[in-house]
Structure 1
């Protein structure tokens, strides 16, 4: 039986929101739990949108965090297809798009991120796509199926994780693919240039064309149909469809308008929270893609980071729920993500964008795409990525978390037990 004297509201319809609701009930909270999402679908996980579901390997039902009946069974009230238009921290209420308002005792903002838009002529054409929501993935899956059947061509603006995963899916369907990337290698802002060529070669072997050092300047169309995409170096690429995969921005509009503290843009922006995921208002919390969390681990300790990955939402939602219940908790997970592209699978742990590391040490055979790469700064492991090598994430995360000096030669030596390094 729900006790209506306390109400916890969750704004967001993703994994962090669903796991927070689940944790509130698992921890014995008997008050009202209200989850408000601006999509009509029940909360779902986003990795399948660019992986298994997009590639046609997984069914639509597989993306949802819980079965639809779970929410009623656990007395979680759903307000789906509703946009929260305002947050009144003083009045402890949120206003919805239909004009109604909901009162709260504690509030969790799990509003996620929004894909960045291409600011060029032609973005209003029907064949221009973004990939963030299930509806986007459903539409793009149909597009890739048609392109593969008709030998059509998609131009992807951006060579990050989303761009490359969509490129792999597109080639699986048989579509022609060109990736336009402003840097000299794909994934430059995450893994740097040292390993970028590996991913260039991987995709080139599967027929993907790359155009590096360029940006889209115009999408050319006729009668509402995409015909080509032009770049700032004068090139023009044939295209039937265009995907904008140029990153995402945290959805901080509610928080900003309500006067909550935001993180500096130089540190990824987002809503500034403490270790317990509390915002500058003691009754408002934030988790997932939108939250900027102080690091207490390894070489990244002392700064804020904002992480847009599945594991962050999976683990931060429950921590926020426990904090809302008054438990003494802290979120200090080492960032983790995974990617699957053709026959290459990888896991990445840590945080080491270009400019933060001194060198990259490779353990194993990069030529065979079976290796572990370590990003080092000051003799300490900042991040590690295992490529087609498994069951090493725990050891990699231990090295990242410890911030201990490591023996570089031992790190590079496959015969040296990884579990013994840095101890």
Structure 2
């Protein structure tokens, strides 16, 4: 691959959500120079949320995963190169060094390198049939192993009771497989959900036949010549498995940035506009850690964050200020329940529940002192959309108002 040096040319490392959004925002913002997008996967840009659900379950075709077809990008004069690795950034020469040793010049560089699942640092952690989920190929490999487990009536173990682990568990149960979820913490999704909602999700999965082992300490993976056979716990017991899916979090892909001397701390450090410590380099998506006004760092791993940071990063390269300040939101589908989260619940010290948890249509409102800071809605999309408006407007109901279904929360927005 080669490129002519032009008055202005932008290289985007990463062909996922953040990379695509940045490229398209550059074009819609009036940038007319060359845009080159480099992806290390063999596939063009695709949607990741269906991987743990419909794609793994075989419910959708490959065409339905496609985010932007190559010809669509070509019409916008965005050059896409797949299956290409970037091994270094030469900031002084303003070039990226590709895996084949060639150099690609840039006047503006976008790092949208995503994240990588954490590996299981235990004996047998690399045995055949021990798989993580991040890419389309990961999901396909898990689906292939699932088919073997169905044919041979082998159970599944999921290590990690976070969103990916629970979504995979729900998909596998819907296919009739025996599933055990091993979670080291005393409750599911303990970093992001209030205890009342953690308990509700535990009962949801148990009600669908999932065996949950909380406070589980994994000691090793057992395997034979055909691959994984079970997960050994610290107490010496073994949970049988024909497939182990590891969902113990991700690490930001900031190695390129670190090697180039950019500021990194749990990710590539950026400001609200996606700018890095180098004025000609921006970053967006899961690879970033945003420096907040108080000096703390915020890592968000969501489609919304990738989209909005991409737009902000494009604006920064165009010399504009477009800080990403909207309320963060996220969603997770498990069985027939859609969880929609708005805001950041860290630091909450009180909660209010609106709706009926037994029916499965409700919202948990998170408060810090008297201030609403976040809300988690289950099959209650109207609540979710309203909460986002309240948070964007910095308008807070009282706990009593939030928990009273007879009180019209929308009335608080009327001036």
Please give the range of the TM-score, normalised by the shorter of the 2 chains: over 0.9
Q: Is residue 151–residue 174 contact of structure 1 (8 Å, CA) maintained in 2?
A: no
Alignment map for 1:248-287 (pairs within 5 Å): 248-263=250-265, 269-287=266-284
Q: Which residue of 2 is the match for residue 129 of structure 1?
A: 131
| Counterpart mapping for 1:368-387 below 5 A | 368-387=359-378
Once the two structures are overlaid, the 10-residue window that deviates more, 163-172 or 338-347, is 338-347
Residue equivalent to 1:304: 297
Taking the aligned partners of 1:168 and 1:361, their CA distance within structure 2 comes to 27
Distance 1:337 1:309 in 2: 6
1:418 pairs with one of 406, 409, 415: 409
Report deviation, 1:402. Answer: 4.3
Unaligned runs of 5+ in 2: none
- In the alignment, the residues of structure 2 paired with residue 391 and residue 294 of structure 1 have an alpha-carbon distance, to the nearest angstrom, of 32
Change (3 A) 1:173 1:245: same
Contact 2:52 2:164 in 1 (8 A): yes
**CA contact 1:3–1:31 (8 Å) conserved in 2:** no
1:52 corresponds to which residue? 54
Q: Is the 8 A contact 1:20 1:317 kept in 2?
A: yes
User: Does the CA contact (< 8 Å) of 1:214 and 1:233 recur in 2?
Assistant: no
Other-structure match for 1:109: 111
Displacement, 1:295? 4.6
Within 2, Cα distance between the matches of 1:357 and 1:31? 47
From the superposition, tell whether residues 33 and 348 of structure 1 become closer, same or farther in structure 2 (CA, over 3 Å): same
Deviation track 1:212-248 (CA, whole Å, cap 9, x = no partner) reads 1012211101114211101123221000111110000
Structure 2: distance between partners of 1:373 and 1:192? 8
State the 1:405 CA deviation.
4.7
- Give the equivalent residue in structure 1 for 2:149: 147
Three-state SS of the structure 1 residue aligned to 2:316 is helix
Q: What residue number does 2:174 align with?
A: 172
The offset of 1:5, in angstroms, is: 2.7
> What's 2:12 paired with?
10
SS in structure 2 opposite 1:334?
coil
Aligned twin of 1:94: 96
Unpaired runs of at least 5, structure 1: 264-268
Count of aligned pairs between the two proteins: 411
Is 1:347 the counterpart of 2:344? The answer is no
Measured after TM superposition, the shift of residue 252 of structure 1 is 0.7
Query: Which residue of 27, 30, 34 corresponds with 2:29?
Result: 27
| 1:150-169 deviations in Å (ceiling 9; x for gaps) | 32211110000000000011
CA distance in 2, matches of 1:137, 1:85: 26
* Aligned residues of 1:295 and 1:332 also touching (Cα < 8 A): no
Can you list the C-alpha shifts for 1:369-420, whole angstroms capped at 9, x where unaligned? 1101111111111211110112233321233344455311111001111213
Q: Which residue of 1 aligns with 2:351?
A: 360
TM-score by length of 1: 0.93
**In structure 1, what is the equivalent of residue 287 of structure 2?**
290
Looking at structure 2, the residues matched to 260 and 4 of structure 1 have their Cα atoms a distance apart, in angstroms, of 25
